Amino acid sequence: MSDEQKAQYTSLEEIDQMHAALRAGFRSGKMKSIAARRTQLTQLGYLVQDNMERFKEAFAADLGRHPMEASFLDLLPTLSDTKIAIDRVEKWARTERAPFSLNFAATRPVIRKEPKGVVLIIAPFNYPVWLTFGPLIGALAAGNCAVLKPSELSWNVTKLMAELVPKYLDQDVVRVVLGAVPETTKLLELPWDHILYTGSGRVGKIVNMAGAKTFSPVSLELGGKSPAVIDPKCDMRTAAKRILWGKVANAGQTCVAPDYVLIERGAEDKFVEALKEAHKSFFPDKSYKEMSRIVAPSHFNRLKGLVENTQGTVVLGGLDEMDEAGKLITPTIVRGVKEDDSLMSEEIFGPVLPILPVDNVDDALEYINKHDHPLALYVFTQDAAFKAKVFDNTTSGSAVANEVLLQCATDGLPFGGIGPSGNGYQTRKYAFDMFTHLRASLDSPSWLDKIMGARYPPYTVRFFSCTPPYYSYLSFRMTCSLRS
């Protein structure tokens, strides 16, 4: 990072002041009403809508991202999620009647949906607007205050967000912290009512341990190696086109990008040819002007090293087409990859696609299940039984047939991982739920003691036999035969 950039980082003293200001803002109760939440959500929508062109310029500076890709993958999903929250927040936040047995009907049990308090959102570089503001939408809809810590790697977008947030949003409700490791470390020393971190598993462990020290609940979105399983009888051209798009969109720097392909040996040639055909249709002149760049030299060198050390056969792209000065890695296809290959040692997070040939789908499932649960799992098939076999015998954050990436943007679907690929949910209603405390509540009338008075000492069998718990006991005895 340049000295000029570091000079703009938030001071550690200011972080303490921000935390205190947001605590006071939350205690003031200004975000309790639905109207106040809608106001902040509307302002967030205006923040993005009014500055679309500035954001596109910042994306181009940070990631070399094409304006249409910036709109489609980052800005428009943010606006869509904002509109959904504005329209539905009243319904989401409504107190619910709790399901209950007749024994407790008189207590009028309900579930109150209340904000957790002041939350911390630590966002990554790859989708810096959507993965910062997307969770913020859920937090605001739930009535929370929030500190945003965008990535220092996407500096131009981060700096723009830090400039715009104070102009559009209440500073007692939302603040932005600029910085890198020292600033994030300082943030993690403070108590939060919820922490959401999106990024690598290595840092996720640090965040989790830091949260434990302050009893701050932590949600993680961590990624992993998401496989694509190919049925040899599938529509190979469509499969190749969609998988390649998943690898070239944002230069493969997507947590749910297909990381590798598992395909029967006899179909590998056909799939490789379909990938080459798709590549030719995407980049007919091989100029790659519309392709995003790798975010930083260190990330470029990591990807270059993985390709340098592969024992597979590079059939497209490769080292000769890499542009280190421009941080460009062209779509690279590597076939004949084995389990112990360098490309299988970690999440690729770039436009490099290894193909692992297997003998059959059972071998593919065995390989998947030997490794950490992925954030996404893709299968390409027109055979319902093939799809069911893959989905029913694996575990992943999402399970998608004949498509890639779009599950994250689909309204109504949760976006999150399981196990080492993460926990919690980032967007829409599921983010609202994550940042909401479900507060159990009931209101018991005084006459209930005529029915449940046996709970008070002195205890007698006669009174006990008249209580609702005893009726449940009898019902269990009559309907269950556990001892046969």
Question: Which residue in 69, 221, 268, 347 is the catalytic one?
Answer: 221
Other beta carbons within 10 Å of 74 = 26
Report the DSSP pairing between strands 422-423 and 398-401: unpaired
Over residues 117-122, the mean pLDDT reads 98
Q: What is the mean pLDDT of residues 289-297?
A: 95
Asked whether residue 332 is assigned to any structural domain, the reply reads yes
Mean pLDDT of all residues belonging to the chain: 94
pLDDT at 88 (0 to 100): 98
Q: Is residue 474 part of a domain?
A: no
Quickly state the pLDDT bin for 168 (edges 50, 70, 90). very high
pLDDT value at residue 479: 59
For 220, the enclosing helix (H) or strand (E) is strand 218-221
User: Which amino acid would we find at residue 219?
Assistant: S
Q: Is 360 found in the same domain as 239? A: yes
Token code pair at residue 129: 């607007």
Residue 198 parent element (H or E): strand 194-198
Other CB atoms closer than 10 Å to residue 296's CB: what's the count?
15
Q: Does pLDDT of 103 surpass 90?
A: no
CB 249, CB 126: distance < 8 Å: no
pLDDT at 18: 98
Who contacts 226 (Cβ-Cβ below 8 Å, separation ≥6)? Answer: 256, 257, 258, 259, 374, 375, 376, 377, 378, 396
Mean pLDDT in residue range 151-169:
98
Single out the catalytic residue among 69, 145, 152, 255.
255
Above 70 in pLDDT, residue 183? yes
> Is residue 458 classed as helix, strand or coil in its secondary structure?
coil
Strands (DSSP E) along 36-180, which ranges?
A: 96-97, 110-115, 118-122, 145-149, 174-176
The CATH number for 26's domain is: 3.40.605.10
C-alpha distances in Å from residue 405, one per residue of 53, 250, 252, 280, 416: 25, 12, 11, 21, 13
**pLDDT greater than 60 at residue 261:** yes
Instruction: List pLDDT tens digits, range 63-74.
Output: 999 999 999 999
31 and 106 share one domain: yes
Whole-number Å distance between alpha carbons of 331 and 351? 5
Residue 138 corresponds to which tokens in the numbers above? 């859920």
Domain membership of residue 473 (yes or no) is no
**CA-to-CA distance for 91 and 119, rounded, in angstroms?**
22
Same structural domain, 180 and 313: no
146: domain range? 3-222+426-438
**Residue 256 maps to a domain:** yes
Q: Angle 34-50/76-92 helices, nearest 10 degrees?
A: 170
CA–CA distance, 444 with 442 (Å, rounded to integer): 6
Confidence (pLDDT) at 1: 76
Say whether both 256 and 405 belong to one domain. Answer: yes
Question: Domain check: are 234 and 161 in the same one?
Answer: no
Amino acid 8 reads Q
pLDDT band at 282; cut points 50, 70, 90: very high
Look up 234 and say whether it is catalytic: no
Q: Are residues 352 and 391 in the same domain?
A: yes
pLDDT value of residue 2? 85
204, 91: one domain? yes
Total domains in the fold of the chain: 2
Write down the pLDDT at residue 182: 97
Among 13, 73, 7, 79, which residue's Cα sits nearest to residue 251?
73
Cα separation of 425 and 171, whole Å? 25
Note whether 171 and 242 are same-domain residues: no
Q: Mean of the pLDDT values across residues 199-226? A: 96
Task: Identify whether 186 is part of a domain.
Answer: yes
Q: Averaged over 235-264, what is the pLDDT?
A: 97
* Stronger pLDDT, 106 or 221, i.e. the higher one: 221
Residue type, 83: K
Structure tokens at 132: 């910062």
The pLDDT tens digits for 45-54 are 999 999 999 9
| pLDDT (average), residues 138-142 | 98
* pLDDT for the residue 468: 60
> What is the value of pTM for the model shown?
0.93
CATH code of the domain containing 406:
3.40.309.10
> Could you report the per-residue pLDDT of 333-369, keeping only the tens digit for each?
999 999 999 999 999 999 999 999 999 999 999 999 9
In the numeric block, the tokens 């945003």 are attached to: 148
Nearest-angstrom CA–CA distance, 9 and 336 = 46
Binned at pLDDT 50, 70 and 90, residue 465 comes out as low
What is the spatial distance between Cα 11 and Cα 74, in angstroms, rounded to a whole number? 29
Residues 463-483 have a mean pLDDT of 57
Residue 255 known to be catalytic: yes
Residue 478, domain member (yes or no):
no
Domain membership of residue 308 (yes or no) is yes
- Same domain, yes or no, for 209 and 238? no
In a domain, 54, yes or no: yes
Distances (CA, A) of 396 to 245, 274, 341, 348, 374: 21, 27, 23, 18, 5
Question: DSSP string of 265-306?
Answer: GGGHHHHHHHHHHHHHHH-TT---TTSPPPSSHHHHHHHHHH
Percent of the chain with pLDDT over 90: 85
265 and 336 assigned to the same domain: yes
- 218 and 277 assigned to the same domain: no
For residues 251 and 151, membership in a common domain is answered with: no
pLDDT-based confidence at residue 30 (cuts at 50, 70, 90): very high
pLDDT digits (tens, 9 = 90+) for 386-428: 999 999 999 999 999 999 999 998 988 999 999 999 998 888 9
Looking at the predicted structure, is the pLDDT value of residue 467 above 80? no
